[in-house]
Structure 1
Amino acid sequence: MSRWVGKVAVVTGASAGIGAAIVEKLVQEGLIVVGFARRKERVEELAKKLQKAKGKLYAVKVDITKEDEIIEGFNWVKKNVGPVHILINNAGVAKNNSLIDGDSQKWRDVLDTNVFGLCVATREAIKDMKLNNVEGHIIHINSIAGHKVVNFPKLNVYGGSKYAVTALAETLRNELLHENLKIKVTSVSPGLVKTEIFETADSIEKAAIEGRPALTSEDVADAVWYALATPPHVEIPELTIKPLGETF
């Protein structure tokens, strides 16, 4: 894994949960990590915690639903830390809503974050990798809901957005093959993960979650590291992880 030491990784949605765990794992392993987040101050707090780690963490304020902020974020990376080698598309949201009588703005928020923002960040990362002849790695944090329709309250467009991520990962791999670019693509699809959703869930969701087996954010970070740790000739297109006993 020495090939990644000192290299630049961009992690979206880096302020909490899975994103923060991924950031911490990469910095501990010696990477230069740029955390994109709306709550920049939380990434800055994490950077202070990791001051003695092998790598380094920088915080950049980026709202992943805003194309201009994503582009500005990548411009900051180019000017201040160097070529991008890894992109972790972690930013994602789920909104309490329904398809029957749902709030259309909440649908847009989910799709703008989980699909459109992911596409823009991927485009900007690959542009930089191509310019610098980098053999990089793009990782989408997906979900089991991107592979099967899960009977869970109020998922509405979330599952559709994650099915899109599954298709986008494979479509991206095909495009990279056509252009003969040595950039890996991995979709990491966790089952239920114990993150801030447990604290912000409403009573119906909490009842559905309570007592169910769940992964930790660190489990997902370990899966990301496993995919990154493969030798240059090995690619993991899909990595699905579930807590033991999960019934979804």
Structure 2
Amino acid sequence: MTISRWSGRVAVVTGASAGIGAATAIELAKNGLITIGLARRVEKIEELRSQLTSDQQKNFHAMKCDVSVEAEIVRTFSDIVKKFGGIDVLINNAAFMTLTKLIDLENSSEFQKVFEVNVFGVINCTREFVKSIRERNAEGHVIHINSILGHVMPFYLEHPTFGVYSASKFAVTALAEQHRQEFIKEKLNIKVTSLSPGFVATEMLGNIMKLSKEQIEKYLEKYPHLLPKDIADAIIYLLSTPQNVLVTELTIRPMNESS
């Protein structure tokens, strides 16, 4: 599996400070793409450099950007284009989850943040990406990191509510198809893929569910799970497909995931 045709071209990964985003940024840089990781915690992205060789580190860049803020997206993408000449690959990975219930009181601010990041972040980042493609009449590939929760609503009595997270990911499923149709109508040479993982072991588990390290280990022993590197490898596969092949939806689940 090779993505040599993307070597030397520019990739942007949102939410690159940890988890899937961090693993993806590392793999893209290893494969020769000029990789810009975006996150609010830019220092966390800088720490990833130690996993790369000195040559690979030259391909790796970190920029601070909160994708829930449209003005930051516009400014950051403009800066990337000025510095690197354009953007060829976009990985919309940034996501926010809250376990707040729909029927909880005073839940609006939490739910608004979910949609600002998971839905409007995808819309706004993709719009600025397309602007760069149009200006250069270039080819591109945008990958929306979706979720199995963007297709099904599993019911776990013992599990906390997913709140509006699933609703936001169902929106990403629709956005991916809408993007595909608009790219066709506008005659843009851009692939769009919705990549939907099952349960992935990331730091979100501890942050959202307020679990200790020991509790996380016990949780992962109980539930089949993927690792962030598994999703990064899937992204490399998607970028390796021939120009005439479009994978519109890729669902990846851990073996024996029950729901």
TM-score by length of 2: 0.91
SS at match of 2:111: helix
Residue 235 of structure 1 is matched in structure 2 by 246
Secondary structure of 2:251 counterpart: strand
The amino acid of 2:95's aligned partner reads: G
In the alignment, what sits opposite 1:8? 10
Distance in 2 (CA, whole Å) between partners of 1:71 and 1:244 is: 40
Aligned residue number for residue 30 of structure 1: 32
- Is 1:63 the equivalent of 2:66? yes
* Superposition map of 1:1-248 within 5 A: 1-54=3-56, 56-102=59-105, 103-152=107-156, 153-200=160-207, 201-202=209-210, 211-248=222-259
Aligned residue type for 1:165: V
Q: Residue by residue, what CA displacement relative to the aligned partner does 1:153-205 show, whole Å, maximum 9, x if unpaired?
A: 220100000000000000010001111111000000000000002322246x9
Paired with 1:184 and 1:24, the residues of 2 have a C-alpha distance of: 22
Alignment-mate amino acid for residue 142 of structure 1: N
Instruction: Work out the CA distance in 1 between the residues paired with 2:35 and 2:178.
Output: 26
Name the stretch that deviates more: 161-170 or 209-218. Answer: 209-218
* Cα offset, 1:218, TM superposition: 0.3
Cα-to-partner distance string for 1:83-142 (whole Å, 9 max, x where unaligned): 110000000011120011152111011110000011000000001111111110000000
**Following the alignment from structure 1 to structure 2, what is the Cα–Cα distance between the partners of residues 220 and 71?**
27
1:66-99 CA deviation, whole Å, 9 max, x = no partner?
A: 0011011101111111211000000001112001
Distance 1:141 1:104 in 2: 24
How many Å apart are 1:208 and its aligned residue?
A: 7.2
Structure 2 gaps of 5+ residues are none
Q: Is the deviation greater in 193-202 or in 180-189?
A: 193-202
- TM-score, normalisation: structure 1: 0.95
Identity over aligned pairs, percent: 47
Query: What count of residue pairs does the alignment treat as equivalent?
Result: 247
SS in 2 for 1:84: coil
What is the deviation of 1:41?
0.7
Equivalent-residue separation in structure 1 for 2:119 and 2:257 (angstroms): 26
Instruction: Give, in whole Å, the separation in 2 of the partners of 1:199 and 1:180.
Output: 44
> Quick one: which amino acid aligns to residue 49 of structure 2?
A
Q: Which runs of 5+ in 1 are unaligned?
A: none
Answer whether contact 1:30 1:53 (CA < 8 A) is retained: no
How far 1:150 sits from its partner (Å)?
2.1
Query: Bigger shift: 42-51 or 154-163?
Result: 42-51
CA RMSD of aligned residues (A): 1.7
Shift of 1:50: 2.3
Cα separation, 2, equivalents of 1:16 and 1:127? 27
Distance 2:50 2:87 in 1: 23
Contact 1:50 1:56 in 2 (8 A): no
